[in-house]
Amino acid sequence: MNNLMKIGAHISAAGGVANAPQNAHTIGSEVFQFFSRSPRGGKAPVLTTKQIKNFKANMKEFKQAECYLHAPYYINLASINNRIYYGSISVLREELERGSKLGVKYLMFHPGSAKDLGLKPAIKKVAQGIKEIFKNYTGTTQLLIEISAGSGQIIGDTFEEIASILKLLPVKIRKQVGICYDTAHAFESGYDIRTAQALKKTLQEFDKKIGLAKLKLIHVNDSKTDLGSHVDRHEHLGKGKIGLEGFRAIINEPKLKNINLILETPTTQGVLKDIKLLKKLRAKK
């Protein structure tokens, strides 16, 4: 295999984070993504020294190359409600610190909604929030902005919006912020990848607006809804509107050969099939 692309999925860390690497291995993951806390709210469980040690030992034992955290769903760095705004800053900073203790490479998050402020002021507020998150941060986990499907006034559904956030960050912080490209979200926002040609065109646009060096991870999900629908519905690979050719194009695209793939498709049995499918496509390169 002449590329370094690794394949995995979002998995459960039920019963404690130390279980996550084994859960990942069981379904055939080479890398994985997980929540270190409830995605819906509440305090994060304490990470004990023993848990951290066991997690790292299990990463080696179960041959997981890398792991990633997903931030909780309630994050909104554009909220005018200070409890939500400063709560979001606090949780993202906590997750970066927790990730650093565990040796997690990336933490991905959705910036939030512009409904309180309108787009331009909301983007400024998001950038200000990210600056706050990184104040005196010395950890190793990097923050990734995940492209969104754009329903309502969600921020970050276009390359331009993401680029606007990055441009407002000081250079030192900008270096620590990358992008997670979700195939379903981007497709639902109007970025076509259904053929190798369409993928190349979308990547050219991404490179022009943001820079391909910023692309750190890909969520591989098919879409139940049409191109430009702005409705976020994940589907198993080849069963949705993107189709198998799009995922074959991703596997075969030289510019993506070092970018790892994480599945967030709907069912456990379906994820098993999707992992096998991606590995099969990779083997045929």
Give per-residue pLDDT as tens, 210-256: 999 999 999 999 999 999 999 999 999 999 999 999 999 999 999 99
Q: What is the pLDDT of residue 1?
A: 39
Does 68 qualify as catalytic in the annotation?
no
Q: What is the pLDDT of residue 2?
A: 46
The pair of structure tokens assigned to 38 is: 């409830």
For 181, list phi and psi in degrees, rounded to 5.
-95, 115
Mapped onto helix, strand or coil, the DSSP state of residue 11 is: coil
Give per-residue pLDDT as tens, 159-184: 999 999 999 999 999 999 999 999 99
CA 222 → CA 123, 214, 245, distances in Å?
28, 23, 11
Whether the predicted pLDDT of 275 surpasses 80 = yes
Does 219 qualify as catalytic in the annotation?
yes
Reported confidence tier of residue 278, pLDDT bands at 50, 70, 90: very high
Does 236 qualify as catalytic in the annotation?
no
Whether the predicted pLDDT of 194 surpasses 70 = yes
Q: How many CB atoms lie within 10 A of CB 174?
A: 17
Nearest 5°: the CA angle 39, 187, 190 is: 120
Reported confidence tier of residue 3, pLDDT bands at 50, 70, 90: low
Q: How confident is the model over 43-62, as a mean pLDDT?
A: 96
* Numbers of helices and strands, H then E, in the chain: 10, 10
Q: For the chain, give the percent of residues with pLDDT over 90.
A: 92
Does 182 qualify as catalytic in the annotation?
yes
Q: How confident is the model over 264-274, as a mean pLDDT?
A: 96
CA distance 126 to 113: 10
Domains of the chain, by residue range, sit at 7-283
Does 232 qualify as catalytic in the annotation?
yes
Question: What would the CATH number be for the domain defined by 7-283?
Answer: 3.20.20.150
Does 97 qualify as catalytic in the annotation?
no
Taking phi over 0 as left and psi of -120 to 50 as alpha, with beta for the rest, 223 belongs to beta
Mapped onto helix, strand or coil, the DSSP state of residue 155 is: coil
CA 110 → CA 107, 147, 180, 259, distances in Å?
11, 7, 10, 20
Q: Are 126 and 135 in contact (CB under 8 A)?
A: no
Whole-structure pTM value: 0.96
Whether the predicted pLDDT of 282 surpasses 90 = yes
Whether the predicted pLDDT of 75 surpasses 50 = yes
Q: What is the mean pLDDT of the chain?
A: 95
Could you tell me which of 113, 107, 109 has the C-alpha nearest to residue 84?
113
Q: What is the pLDDT of residue 38?
A: 87
Q: What is the pLDDT of residue 4?
A: 85
Does 25 qualify as catalytic in the annotation?
no
Give per-residue pLDDT as tens, 85-138: 999 999 999 999 999 999 999 999 999 999 989 999 999 999 999 999 999 999
CA 128 → CA 33, 155, 246, distances in Å?
27, 14, 36
Q: What is the pLDDT of residue 284?
A: 86
Indicate which residue of 93, 185, 236, 248 is catalytic.
185
With tokens 């191109």, the residue in question is: 227
Whether the predicted pLDDT of 42 surpasses 90 = no
Indicate which residue of 70, 93, 98, 236 is catalytic.
70
CA distance 186 to 202: 10
Q: What is the pLDDT of residue 161?
A: 96
Whether the predicted pLDDT of 151 surpasses 90 = no
Q: Are 149 and 232 in contact (CB under 8 A)?
A: yes
Indicate which residue of 97, 116, 205, 264 is catalytic.
264
Q: What is the pLDDT of residue 88?
A: 97
